[in-house]
Structures are given as C-alpha cells and as structure tokens.
Amino acid sequence: MKVQSMKELIEVCEREQKTIGEIMLMMETEKSGKDQNTIINMMEERLIKMKEAVDCGIKDASTAPSGISGGDAVRMYDYVNQGKSLSGNYVSNAMSFSLATSENNARMGVIVATPTAGAAGILPGVLFSLHKNDGTPYKDLVMGLFTASMLGFIIANRSFISGAAGGCQAEVGSATAMAAGTICELKGGTPQQAVNATAIAMKSLLGLVCDPVAGLVEVPCIKRNVIGTSIAFSAADMALAGIESRIPCDEVIEAMYRVGKDMPRTLRETALGGLATTETGKQVKERLFCKKS
Ligand code: SF4
C-alpha cells in the first residue's frame, strides 16, 4: 500500500474503513515484514520512553548545561496543580508535559524525536494530557503514535520536517500539525476531520523561522513546543466542531515547502538571524562560546 498525500490517505481510510493510525500500522507491517504485535510493541516502547521523559522533566528543576533553560516544567506543573491555569485542564497539562520533555532534551536526557528532537515536546504533551484528563488508555495512545507517524510521513515526503531545511514551521509546525490530527482521531474524529486539524495547525505556524539562540535547541524552542500544544488542541477542537480548512491539507504542506525554500539561510538553524541575533541572544552566545558574533 502506498500513501503519498493527505487526499490519498482519506480515500484509503474510507475504502478500507480504517483509521489513519490503522493504515500506518498496515503499511509498516507490509514494509517491515514484521507482524502487527511486534510493531505495536515497538511503538509502545517509544511511548514509555516519552512517559519517562515527562516524569523526569516535571520533577527535575535543574538547569541545562548551557544555563539558559531548566526549571520551567516544575514551575508550570506546580502552577497548574494549584488550579491557577487559565487554559483549561487539557492545554495546561499538555504545556507542563511538553516543557518537561523539551527541558529533558536540553539536559541531554532521552526523548523520542517526533519528528525531531527540537519538537519532541509537543506530541507527548498532548498524549499524556489526554491520558490524565479523560483516561485515554495507553493502547490508544500507541495507536495515536501511528496516526502521528502517518501524518508526519506525508509531511516529510512532500515538504520538510527540519528547521535547517525549512525553518521552525517545518519542525514545530509539523509536530503541532501531527499532534492536532492525532488528538482529533483519538477523540473520535473522522480521517477527514483529522486531516483538517492537521491543516489548520500547520497554517497557523506557516512562516515560523528557526533562530535558536547560540545554536542550541533551547531558546526559543522549548517554549515554542509549549505553544504548539495549545495550537494542536485548538485546531483539533475546530476540526471536531466541523470546521474545515479552506485550503486543502496537501496544498498547505506545499505552501510550507515553498515558504521554506524562500526562507533565507539566516533563518534556518544557522543562528544568524531572528532571536539568535538580538542583543541578549548575542550575549548568551558570547558567554557560552567566548567569542563575539
Ligand atoms: S527554532 Fe529551530 S532549532 Fe528550535 S525548535 Fe524551531 S526549528 Fe528546532
């Protein structure tokens, strides 16, 4: 089975009467020659690694070796647990879990790149928030990882998923889009609705530049992951309410590709533009690497 576009994906889901996640599982079974249980178990191992990163991050208030990140996950987790968050339980928990994962990444802990290390906080953020808030079982979260994989597979093959290639729209943008479609499917949305959620999320981050301070995947990356979770929930909510993307998802992905191609090199992970070249950004770089930029 070959699926190369979101349009084809919806057609295959409808023809086979399967979810997006189930189609990914079928494709992976075909391609790898492994049986379904083996593949599901392998995916479950990834989910457990994600959970370990979250659990570690919400307890560990230490700073990263760079000294420019750390401690915010604990801060956010405590704030949310005091009932102070304005964002509602789903989003506020996802924010904490996303921070936890991204800070764990900055401390060189183990994370699961979804689709990249820089954007690794978004998917675990939303998945474990679903689990915490409505008891979505782990077996469904595993299937959610297949849903996210399918969406990411199409995005990667039609556009980019790395900041160096297409800016942060390709990295945090793709992860947010994958998470939005996944939430939608896990909450009972149709494949078309999940693809709409994917498109809505990606449109919202189109043009986002990659400008990591001192070239480290910390500032602004960690907080962009957090914001990605709230966009993912908003996009999923819109799609589940029956709102469609006026621009079809495949065209949104193509637009992301064109925007990435037009993006100057200074805004594609070189740390030569954007926030990386603010006064503070330059001072951080100088302090860390003892040279003027
Ligand atoms: S700013 Fe660049 S390095 Fe940071 S998350 Fe975005 S794409 Fe990745």
Q: What is the pLDDT of residues 187-230, one digit of tens each?
A: 999 999 999 999 999 999 999 999 999 999 999 999 999 999 99
Cα distances (angstroms) measured from residue 22 to each of 38, 152, 196, 243: 14, 15, 18, 24
Residue with the smallest CA separation from ligand 1 atom 3 is 217
Query: What does the DSSP 8-state code read for residue 246?
Result: S
CA–centroid distance, 208 to ligand 1, in Å, is 9
**Residue 293 predicted with pLDDT over 50:** no
pLDDT band, very low/low/confident/very high, at 290 (cuts 50, 70, 90): confident
Residue with the smallest CA separation from ligand 1 atom 6 is 168
Beta bridge partners of 268: 210
Q: What is the pTM of this model?
A: 0.97
Q: What is the pLDDT of residues 115-171, one digit of tens each?
A: 999 999 999 999 999 999 999 999 999 999 999 999 999 999 999 999 999 999 999
The CB-side HSE value for 250 (13 A sphere, CA atoms) comes to: 9
What pLDDT score does 291 carry? 54
> Ligand 1, closest atom to CA 168?
7
Q: Which two tokens stand for residue 193?
A: 């609705």
Alpha carbons 288 and 65: distance in angstroms, whole number: 10
Beta bridge partners of 210: 268
Residue with the smallest CA separation from ligand 1 atom 1 is 210
Which helix (H) or strand (E) covers residue 247, if one does? none
> Ligand 1, closest atom to CA 171?
7
Q: What is the pLDDT of residues 100-127, one digit of tens each?
A: 999 999 999 999 999 999 999 999 999 9
Domains of the chain are 6-289 (1.10.4100)
> Ligand 1, closest atom to CA 163?
7
Cα distances (angstroms) measured from residue 60 to each of 2, 55, 99, 138, 237: 43, 9, 11, 24, 32
Protein residues whose CB sits closer than 6 Å to any atom of ligand 1: 118-119, 163, 168, 171-172, 210-212, 217, 221, 224, 269
CA–centroid distance, 116 to ligand 1, in Å, is 9
Phi then psi for residue 289, to 5 deg, are: -115, 5
